[in-house]
Amino acid sequence: MNIRANHLPTAELQALDAAHHMHPFSDGDALAKRGVRVITHADGVMLTDSEGKQILDGMSGLWCCNIGHGRRELADAAHAQMLQLSYYNTFFMTSHPPVIELAETIARLAPEHMNHVFFASGGSEANDTNIRMVRHYWAARGKPEKTVIISRRNAYHGSTMGGASLGGMGGMHAQGGLPIPGIVHIDQPNWWAEGGDLSPDDFGIARARQLAEKIAEIGEDKVAAFIAEPVQGAGGVIVPPDSYWPEVKRVLEAHDILFIADEVITGFGRTGQMFGSQTYDLTPDIMTVAKGLSSGYAPIGGSIVADHVAEVINGGGDFNHGYTYSGHPVACAVAIENLRIIVEEKLVERVRTDIGPYLWERWKALTDHPLVGEAVQKGLMASIALTPDKSTRAKFASEPGTVGYRCRERCFANNLVMRHVGDRMIIAPPLTISHDEVDMLIDRATRSLDETYAGLKADGMLVSA
């Protein structure tokens, strides 16, 4: 392979990276000073860095590599498609075989009532599509004043102006004048952090009822849609109390608004069903997908659209929206091959009946550790809350995220990618992870927790806020 940088020494790669590459969600100066970690190869669940270290990828890249790294079938699909038709657009009354086949495949895998797909290059773009689509839907139905979209605090829906506005991340809203008008937020169902003295079920109901209260406050005639992740991912793998989704469902059924399930992380097997909406028995009008659609082998996302919505959009004249890479043939060919593997290798069933339950056996035992409060999991996404006192669900006296960051650093040192979100630690390994690799993950996580605990003790930081 003729990639010059593959052969450069680490220090040189780091210097060039610092000089020319601006990183997402990073403090550029701090990163340059420290030097980035350069990942050069990956196979299965293991990454290799430029120093030859073998690292267990507990995050599937960035929640995307559902089938694991390095599958030759996907490379072959991309290669063949590039030679046959590397690019053509899907505008101006044209189409091509891979986009047609992928749309049909997705319709077959999606819930019965969802048979239409609008493609994008990733989840953020797809959510921007969704903002425009739900507003256009109501306008086409003669209700142009139904424009407001309700979302949740600490949700993640992308990084474009629209996606970041739908998201409920304070740090993102603080930069660039967000959110854009017409997007409002209610509270998240995060019982550990915000449940106070309520039982998880009472708290779940209370948080779900905020949706009804917000609709009443704005006026149903002004509300276009509610958007939510079945399980919040980037927010810290927040698994809602059992009472939450049934109550939200009741609220949605009682009101004439659309429901967008953001399945960018939960789609394509992550929760043990093909879609997280199926895990929670939800009936979305639109599902946002990306990541696991191609297992990250090619950038592709989209909106899976219910028949009744597609009918209105298709009947509403031109929908003046689209991306150069909507339905990119190479990305579609890669996604088709990826979905074939997910289905034929029964990865979704594997998560539900085999590796998911096995991970849970091992993961929940982490609550024996003095630093770990709750452990939660849905399929192959899981988190633990770090706390100085689990009996009171206490937060640390240090700035939120300080302890999580220290733990993440220990994980790195122990060759495990386990992320922190504030003081929660999260994992979402490839759906192909073996039992032995789960054992390795738990061993490395435990060692990292032990070292974090020892460090906090030594520094006098085991103190409640």
Q: How far is the CB of 11 from ligand PXG (least distance, A)?
A: 27
Residue count, binding to ligand PXG (CB under 6 A)? 18
What is the distance between the alpha carbons of residues 96 and 99, in angstroms, rounded to a whole number? 6
Nearer to ligand PXG (CB atom), residue 63 or residue 191: 63
Closest by alpha carbon to 305, among 251, 249, 250, 263? 263
CB atoms within 10 A of CB 343: 15
Q: Side-chain half-sphere of 104: how many Cα atoms within 13 Å?
A: 7
Q: How far is the CB of 288 from ligand PXG (least distance, A)?
A: 6
452 conformational bin, left if phi > 0, alpha if psi -120 to 50, beta if neither: alpha
* Burial category of 447 from C-beta neighbours within 10 Å (exposed 0-12, middle 13-18, buried 19 and up): middle
Binds ligand PXG (CB under 6 A): choice among 57, 247, 262, 337: 262
Binds ligand PXG (CB under 6 A): choice among 77, 238, 264, 287: 264
What is the distance between the alpha carbons of residues 67 and 209, in angstroms, rounded to a whole number? 38
Residue closest to ligand PXG, measured at CB = 123
Amino acid at 394: A
265 binds ligand PXG (CB under 6 A): yes
Report yes or no: 303 and 287 within 8 Å, Cβ to Cβ.
Answer: yes
**Which listed range, 77-85, 142-150, 257-265, 434-442, lies at the site for ligand PXG (CB under 6 A)?**
257-265
290 binds ligand PXG (CB under 6 A): yes
Nearer to ligand PXG (CB atom), residue 157 or residue 410: 157
Nearer to ligand PXG (CB atom), residue 98 or residue 122: 122
Closest by alpha carbon to 114, among 267, 300, 222, 335? 267
301 binds ligand PXG (CB under 6 A): yes
CB atoms within 10 A of CB 373: 20
**Which listed range, 104-112, 154-162, 357-365, 442-450, lies at the site for ligand PXG (CB under 6 A)?**
154-162
Site residues for ligand PXG, window 203-242 (CB under 6 A)? 229, 233-234
Binds ligand PXG (CB under 6 A): choice among 71, 135, 136, 157: 157
406 binds ligand PXG (CB under 6 A): no
**Which listed range, 123-131, 353-361, 373-381, 455-463, lies at the site for ligand PXG (CB under 6 A)?**
123-131
Amino acid at 253: E
What contacts 24+ positions apart, CB below 8 Å, involve 244-247?
244/189, 244/204, 244/205, 244/207, 244/208, 245/208, 245/280, 245/281, 245/282, 246/281, 247/204, 247/205, 247/208, 247/209
122 binds ligand PXG (CB under 6 A): yes
Nearer to ligand PXG (CB atom), residue 423 or residue 453: 423
Token pair, residue 170, equals: 């304070």
> Token pair 């220090």 is at which residue?
11
156 binds ligand PXG (CB under 6 A): yes
Report yes or no: 166 and 226 within 8 Å, Cβ to Cβ.
Answer: no
Site string for ligand PXG, 62-101 (x = CB under 6 A): x---------------------------------------
Crossing angle of the two packed helices 97-109 and 329-344, in degrees rounded to 10: 40
Report yes or no: 409 and 417 within 8 Å, Cβ to Cβ.
Answer: no
Q: How far is the CB of 189 from ligand PXG (least distance, A)?
A: 15
Nearer to ligand PXG (CB atom), residue 118 or residue 453: 118
What is the distance between the alpha carbons of residues 331 and 125, in angstroms, rounded to a whole number? 15
Nearer to ligand PXG (CB atom), residue 204 or residue 276: 276
Cα torsion 60, 64, 68, 74: sign? negative
Q: How far is the CB of 235 from ligand PXG (least distance, A)?
A: 8
Q: How far is the CB of 401 from ligand PXG (least distance, A)?
A: 13
Q: What residue ranges bind ligand PXG (CB under 6 A)?
A: 62, 122-124, 127, 156-158, 163, 229, 233-234, 262, 264-265, 288, 290, 301
